[in-house]
Amino acid sequence: MIPDLFAEPRAAMAPGAVLLRGFALPRETALRAAIDTVTAEAPFRHMTTPGGFTMSVAMTTCGEVGWVTDRKGYRYSPVDPLSGKPWPAMPAPFRALATEAAAAAGYPGFHPDSCLINRYTPGTRLSLHQDQDEKDFSQPIVSVSLGLPATFQFGGPRRTDPTVKFPLSHGDVAVWGGPSRLFFHGVATLKDGAHPLLGRKRINLTFRRALE
């Protein structure tokens, strides 16, 4: 029998980096409800980079701390700057998915304290960057894709390293850590479309352990 490589549920992206296709699908209904609960309390907003640009991707957070950016720089904050209140707690289905996906990718014992929720509408993108505002780089990153498909660009330790493109579909989970923890990555401009569950957008959940 010839194996169907495209149906392979697991793809290596780089050393220490794996794409678990469809891993979040069994939880799609619970995840969607939890996203609505979190965003009712801490709405999506477009943050400003230290250089003064407004990000095209809208973001919010749940968990103990949230990644924020403004003219002063990038950092983790225990409060939502919009409300001055703590971020909403991380919903149980979020926490369980992140821990299980990390374990499936070879990182047992991952307990995220932060979940960044990214909302992409058609035409938006996330330029190449490293996730480097966390304290302990031995902890992996777990990144869940929901809604419209996107193209993930995964590079290397230097900004100028070539990138490999991976299609990300609804339910896919990418996990990177160990040797690729600080690799550059980004999301290409989102194409237009409509997703049956989420409509004209893509939602990404990025789980991290930000504090020690």
The residues that touch ligand SIN, with contacts defined as CB under 6 A, are 118, 126, 143, 145, 152, 185, 187, 204, 206
**Which residue ranges make up the site for Fe ion (CB under 5 A)?**
131
Compute the half-sphere exposure of residue 176: CA atoms within 13 Å on the CB side of its CA: 24
Smallest separation, CB 6 to ligand SIN (Å) = 20
Residue nearer to Fe ion on the CB measure, 54 or 132: 132
Residue nearer to ligand SIN on the CB measure, 80 or 131: 131
Beta strand pairing call for 10-14 and 17-20 = antiparallel
Residue nearer to Fe ion on the CB measure, 113 or 131: 131
List of E strands, 45-177: 58-63, 66-70, 73-77, 114-120, 126-129, 141-147, 150-154, 164-168, 173-176
Token output for 48: 């400003």
Smallest separation, CB 138 to ligand SIN (Å) = 19
Residue nearer to ligand SIN on the CB measure, 19 or 34: 19
Burial 102-119 (b: 16+ CB within 10 A, else e): bebbebeebebbbbbbbb
* Residue 133 to residue 137: CA distance in whole angstroms: 9
Q: Return the one option of Fe ion, ligand SIN, none that residue 68 interacts with (CB less than 5 to 8 A, by type).
A: none
Residue nearer to ligand SIN on the CB measure, 42 or 187: 187
- Cβ–Cβ < 8 Å for 131, 188: no
* Residue 98 to residue 111: CA distance in whole angstroms: 8
- Cβ–Cβ < 8 Å for 148, 197: no
Q: Return the one option of Fe ion, ligand SIN, none that residue 126 interacts with (CB less than 5 to 8 A, by type).
A: ligand SIN
Smallest separation, CB 38 to Fe ion (Å) = 19
Q: Return the one option of Fe ion, ligand SIN, none that residue 187 interacts with (CB less than 5 to 8 A, by type).
A: ligand SIN
Smallest separation, CB 126 to ligand SIN (Å) = 6
